[in-house]
Structure 1
Amino acid sequence: MDRRGVTDTLGFVFVFALVLSTVGLTFTFGYTGLQDTRDFERLNNAERAFDVMGDNFDDIVRRGAPSRATEVKVADAQLTLADDTTVNVTVTNATGATRNVQYDLQPVVYEAGDGRIVYSNGAVFREDPGGAVVIRHSEFVLRQERVSLPVVTTRGTGRTESIGGTTTVLVRATSPDGQRQSFGFDVARTEPQTELMVNVTSPRPVVWERELGRYDDANCDVYGDTVSCTVSNPERVYVQETLIDIEFE
């Protein structure tokens, strides 16, 4: 009887330990998987919202709309205006004469877990620990017959530039009156052996290289945080900047 009692006790202990370990493993790995799935769905929702936001910004850039607003659901995530991205454009002719313009803009970033959705100068990128992909292309065109560089200078208004928690955020974009500038580089049309260089300095130079290097006439390389692309002897070069003030409500 004593041996049977000991056997029953040990059996109960082993079964109880097995149940506890199973529950623990299920909680640990199951919760992590659930969290990853939830972050993935958040990014999917944010990706769709950023695509709509890009279209709304295009209304301002292309059609001269004074303002647009986009709803973005922030569910245990963070929506911010990130550190500056710099776009530098230089045209050099055969004699060495150069013309140069530079723009600093603040990308709009949605961050959930280890993933991010980024709107930067017309493009939308999706980042995760495995890398980054281009979801929406910018309007940059780097071809020998025509170089078109519409720069979308998004910037904060000095009010709310970061918001988190669980809420629906209204991303309000406004273009100030008179804050649109266009440049046509005549030197690129009249001088032989002209070279155009576009430098984009940002925390994500590799994805910008992928974005700008999709044109066969653009020769792109990455140097640290900067991707540098050159187009030899372009026929026409147009640069347009549109300022867009961003506020989160």
Structure 2
Amino acid sequence: MSDVVGFVLIFAIVVTSVGVVTTFGVGALVDFRDAEAGNNAERGMVAVADAMDEVDRGRSPARSAELTVDRGTIGISDGVSFRVRYSNASTTYEETYQTNALVYRLDGTNVAYESGAVIRSGGDSSALSSSPSLRCSDDAAVVSLVRVRARGPSSVRGDTVRIEMRHQSSQLLFPQTNLSDAGVTVEATSPRQDSWTQYFEQADGWQSDGPGTGVCEGVDRVVVRQTTISVRFVT
């Protein structure tokens, strides 16, 4: 009789354990898998940003990088732009530039490349993984913007995607020298604007001036340039 009772108890424990693992363990494993996919995408997007920088700076006419997309998507997204304005006693300049973004998406996690910056976001929070090419020194402000455009499909799925980047054009939009005590304002419009606010709060020379906005004060030289890079996805 005791053997039967023991068997029943052991069987009940096994069934209960399987139920607990199924109920709670599978969810935890799925969360871990999604978090690791996001980490891999973040590391891959930083490598993409490095390759973009090579093309932007004219060190190479074309570069490529591979990104593990897993169950997510990678594509070009609009809705990202930068307004640049500066003024002093005699000169005023203001213009808005559309740059777009290269965005990896998986469930609630996004990892985006925006004009040099890599931003990971999820839920109500976002964090900067790589900084943009904006410079503010004692005498000069350099605003270097990168516009991305799709060459072929604007978004794809696939286990591993090769991202081919090619230089299309570079424009020196507004070189201005011999200014006197000018103030330069850069305002980022983006779904991940909080990270731009964070950047301007922490970057050398820049002063935060509201959501996604930074000010570089007291400069004598201003350079605004934009590079357009075409992006092709190969699965």
Query: How high is the TM-score relative to the length of structure 1?
Result: 0.82
Residue in structure 1 matching 2:106, options 93, 112, 135: 112
Cα separation, 1, equivalents of 2:157 and 2:208 = 36
Cα separation, 1, equivalents of 2:193 and 2:210 = 7
Question: 2:171 is aligned with what amino acid?
Answer: Q
- Residue 245 of structure 1 corresponds to 230
Consecutive unaligned residues of structure 2, counting only runs of 5 or more, are: none
Q: Is the alpha carbon distance of 1:101 and 1:185 closer, same or farther for their aligned partners in structure 2, counting shifts above 3 Å?
A: farther
Question: 1:246 is aligned with what amino acid?
Answer: V
Query: Which deviates more from structure 2 when the two are superposed, residues 114-123 or residues 124-133?
Result: 124-133
Residue in structure 1 matching 2:155, options 162, 171, 194: 162
Cα separation, 1, equivalents of 2:231 and 2:128 = 22
Question: 1:230 is aligned with what amino acid?
Answer: V
Alpha-carbon offset, residue 17 of structure 1: 6.2
- Residue 190 of structure 1 corresponds to 179
User: Quick check: 1:68–1:174 contact (8 Å CA) kept in 2?
Assistant: yes
- Residue 188 of structure 2 corresponds to 200
Cα separation, 2, equivalents of 1:221 and 1:99 = 18
TM-superposition CA deviations, 1:163-221 (whole Å, max 9, x none): 124x2111111112xx21113123xx3334x2211111001111101112223542323
Cα separation, 2, equivalents of 1:216 and 1:71 = 32
Query: Which deviates more from structure 2 when the two are superposed, residues 208-217 or residues 100-109?
Result: 208-217
Larger radius of gyration: 1
Helix, strand or coil for the counterpart of 2:37? helix
Pairing of 1:218-233 with structure 2 (within 5 A): 218-223=206-211, 227-233=212-218
Question: 2:175 is aligned with what amino acid?
Answer: G
Alpha-carbon offset, residue 228 of structure 1: 2.0
Cα separation, 1, equivalents of 2:105 and 2:112 = 9
Cα separation, 2, equivalents of 1:49 and 1:57 = 12
TM-superposition CA deviations, 1:45-64 (whole Å, max 9, x none): 22222122111111111134
Pairing of 1:1-249 with structure 2 (within 5 A): 12=8, 19-95=14-90, 97-129=91-123, 131-157=125-151, 159-165=152-158, 167-176=159-168, 179-182=169-172, 183-186=174-177, 189-192=178-181, 194-215=182-203, 217-223=205-211, 227-249=212-234
Helix, strand or coil for the counterpart of 2:47? helix
Alpha-carbon offset, residue 241 of structure 1: 0.6
Alpha-carbon offset, residue 18 of structure 1: 5.7
Helix, strand or coil for the counterpart of 2:57? helix
Identity %: 26
Alpha-carbon offset, residue 222 of structure 1: 3.3
Consecutive unaligned residues of structure 1, counting only runs of 5 or more, are: none
Cα separation, 2, equivalents of 1:78 and 1:211 = 26
